[in-house]
């Protein structure tokens, strides 16, 4: 195997040349055309050997080992292997000794083997491993084994191929049939040779000089019940059903224990409680110390006679210090006052305040102080209520996880996709429910609907 690594300079020099063909090159199998979309042979490489070993399990799953001996006439980055996903589940993919990645595309599990950082020439061996699990069929009269051993979308001719299939238990191998040729062929065009073992467990198929876009398929009729424990397409197991219900039931239970509020009679009030400032009222409304809560304090300072506000024009105001607030007001209010009047000056305009960094610092500290007033013994939410809320969120994720695993295990991808969306809606609903029903702990505060502030 000859591997050539490109320098950054050479890549840049080639960039202009390859840009024009990049849209086509991205779909190329040895970083060459995708076989199922084009029937042109790739003469820039050759498959010397394409050997396949399949170990069959009694649950209708198959462990594949593909050994390919590739010969690159010109430089190549690597190859693609396309595995159809319809009617089967693919897992445990590995390609030892090479960089590779997997993704799904147009109903195929794609294995991209190689790297754009180096090129290959000459002989290069590949060992590709993967598992395929077939879903249980609806035929109640017989079981079938149908294996695509050499794909019909392979783009190069193949010098020789040996395929060995090891069965889990004895079968009547006289019913085995081999098909070879282009896609849809129901005959043995390439004269593949089928041999069976005396113990009825091993099938060997050999072929030589297989043209590009020709494949090899094995079919074997088996007695009903040969497969045991094959996964059923779209079946919902008892475990998944329990997981679907566990999340919502757990969330409702936690709400019942931790989240219910005692019934309160809401009275219509026109004036705020006398011992609460606008900032405190704003925090009680939404549980946050936001900009409106802090800025409303400036109006409160004027209302209480600590400052005077004079409008100079539509965008400019003048603030006059009357008296400095003392310890009788919350600390966050004193910070706002100090932000407006940082020194000995008694008159400030909005332009002066906006150009000073002092107000910004005091404003930030004031928000922190306001939020800090509602912690510890003054907290408006109990710790167990907050914990229950997040536990509700986790519980709501359980159905989503169950839907995802159900689709991947049982193959009902479209159904699972819809159910995942349903689970996400369930997650949002339960999260909102937990937020609304947080147990409010404010026995020392008057809970009221404030219609206006006098």
Same-domain check for residues 55 and 171: yes
Q: For residues 243 and 301, state if they share a domain.
A: no
Instruction: Count up the domains in the chain and report the number.
Output: 3
Residues 66 and 137 in one domain: yes
Regarding whether 56 and 159 lie in a shared domain, the answer is yes
H helix or E strand, kind and range, residue 118: strand 118-134
Please state the rounded mean pLDDT for residues 58-74: 95
Instruction: Tell me, yes or no, whether 334 and 395 share the same domain.
Output: no
Residue 312 lies in a domain: yes
Q: Which two tokens stand for residue 352?
A: 């002066």
Q: Is residue 229 part of a domain?
A: no
CA neighbor of 38 nearest in space, from 80, 88, 75: 80
- With respect to residue 282, please indicate whether it lies within any of the assigned structural domains: no
Among the ranges given (44-58, 196-210, 289-303), the one the predictor scored with the smallest mean pLDDT: 289-303
Q: Looking at the structure, tell me whether residues 192 and 331 fall in a common domain.
A: no
**Is the distance from CB of 74 to CB of 99 less than 8 angstroms?**
no
Higher pLDDT, 283 or 69: 69
Domain-located, residue 164: yes
Most confident of 69-83, 312-326, 419-433: 69-83
Confidence of residue 11 (pLDDT cuts 50, 70, 90): very low
Q: Are residues 326 and 180 in the same domain?
A: no
DSSP string over 225-271: T-S-SPPPTT---HHHHHHHHHHHHHHHHHIIIIIPPPP----EESS
Domain of residue 110, CATH code: 2.60.40
138: containing domain: 2-223
The verdict on 48 and 65 lying in the same domain is yes
Asked if the model's pLDDT at residue 188 lies above 70, the reply is yes
Can you give the pLDDT at residue 327? 87
List 348's β-bridge partners, or say none. Answer: 319
Mean pLDDT of 243-262: 67
- Return all residues near 433 (Cβ < 8 A) that are at least 6 apart: 251, 255, 392
Are 321 and 445 contained in the same domain?
Answer: no
One domain for residues 210 and 242: no
Identify the DSSP state of 201.
-
33 with 169, same domain?
yes
Are residue 318 and residue 255 in the same domain, yes or no?
no
pLDDT, residue 403, reads 61
DSSP H helical ranges for 346-382: 350-355, 357-372
Average pLDDT value over all residues in the chain: 77
Q: Which residues are 69's β-sheet partners?
A: 49, 125
pLDDT greater at residue 415 or residue 242: 242
Determine contact, residues 308/302, Cβ cutoff 8 Å: yes
**Percentage of the chain exceeding pLDDT 70:** 65
pLDDT per residue over 409-449, tens digit each? 555 444 455 555 556 656 665 555 555 444 444 333 333 33
Q: What is the pLDDT of residues 13-45, one digit of tens each?
A: 444 343 333 333 333 334 443 433 444 567 899
Q: Is residue 275 part of a domain?
A: no
203 touches 164 (CB < 8 A)? yes
**Mean local confidence (pLDDT), 254-281:** 68
14-to-20, 23, 119, 355 alpha-carbon distances in Å: 11, 15, 14, 54
346, pLDDT greater than 70: yes
Rounded Cα gap, residues 242 and 265, in angstroms? 40
């Amino acid at each position: 195997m000859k591997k050539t690594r490109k320098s950054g300079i050479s890549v840049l020099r080639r960039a202009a040349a390859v840009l024009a063909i990049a849209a086509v090159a991205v779909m190329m199998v040895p970083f060459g055309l995708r076989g199922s979309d084009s029937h042109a042979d790739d003469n820039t490489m050759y498959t010397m050997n394409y050997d396949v070993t399949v170990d069959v399990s009694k649950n209708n799953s198959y462990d594949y080992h593909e050994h390919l001996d590739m010969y690159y006439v010109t430089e190549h980055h690597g190859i693609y292997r396309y595995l159809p996903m319809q009617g089967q589940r693919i897992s445990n993919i590995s390609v030892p000794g090479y960089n590779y990645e997997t993704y799904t595309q147009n109903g195929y599990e794609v294995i991209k083997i190689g790297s754009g950082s180096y090129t290959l020439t000459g002989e290069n061996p590949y060992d590709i491993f993967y598992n395929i699990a077939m879903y249980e069929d609806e035929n109640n009269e017989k079981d079938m084994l149908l294996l695509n051993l050499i794909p019909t979308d392979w783009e190069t001719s193949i010098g020789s191929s040996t395929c060995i299939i090891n069965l889990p238990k004895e079968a009547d191998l006289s019913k085995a049939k081999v098909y070879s040729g282009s896609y849809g062929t129901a005959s043995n065009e390439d004269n593949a040779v089928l041999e069976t073992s005396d113990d009825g467990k091993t099938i060997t198929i050999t072929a030589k000089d297989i043209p590009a876009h020709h494949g090899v398929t094995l079919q074997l009729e088996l007695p009903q019940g040969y497969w045991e424990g094959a996964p059923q397409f779209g079946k919902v197991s008892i475990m998944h059903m329990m997981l679907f219900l566990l999340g919502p039931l757990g969330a409702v239970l936690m709400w019942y224990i931790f989240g219910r509020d005692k019934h309160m009679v809401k009275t219509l009030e026109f004036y705020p409680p006398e011992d609460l400032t606008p900032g405190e009222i704003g925090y009680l409304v939404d549980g946050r110390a936001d900009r409106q809560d802090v800025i409303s304090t400036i109006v409160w300072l004027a209302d209480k006679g600590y400052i005077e506000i004079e409008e100079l024009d539509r965008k400019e105001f003048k603030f006059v210090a009357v008296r400095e607030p003392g310890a009788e007001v919350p600390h966050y209010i004193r910070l706002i006052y100090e932000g407006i009047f940082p020194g000995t000056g008694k008159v400030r305009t909005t332009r002066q305040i906006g150009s000073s960094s002092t107000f910004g610092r005091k404003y930030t500290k004031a928000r922190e102080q306001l939020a800090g007033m509602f912690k510890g013994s003054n907290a408006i939410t109990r710790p167990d209520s907050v914990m229950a809320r997040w536990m509700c969120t986790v519980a709501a994720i359980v159905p989503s996880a169950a839907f995802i695993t159900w689709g991947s295990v049982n193959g009902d991808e479209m159904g699972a996709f819809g159910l995942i969306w349903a689970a996400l809606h369930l997650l949002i609903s339960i999260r909102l429910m937990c937020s609304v029903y947080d147990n409010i702990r404010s026995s020392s505060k008057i809970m009221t609907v404030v219609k206006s502030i006098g």
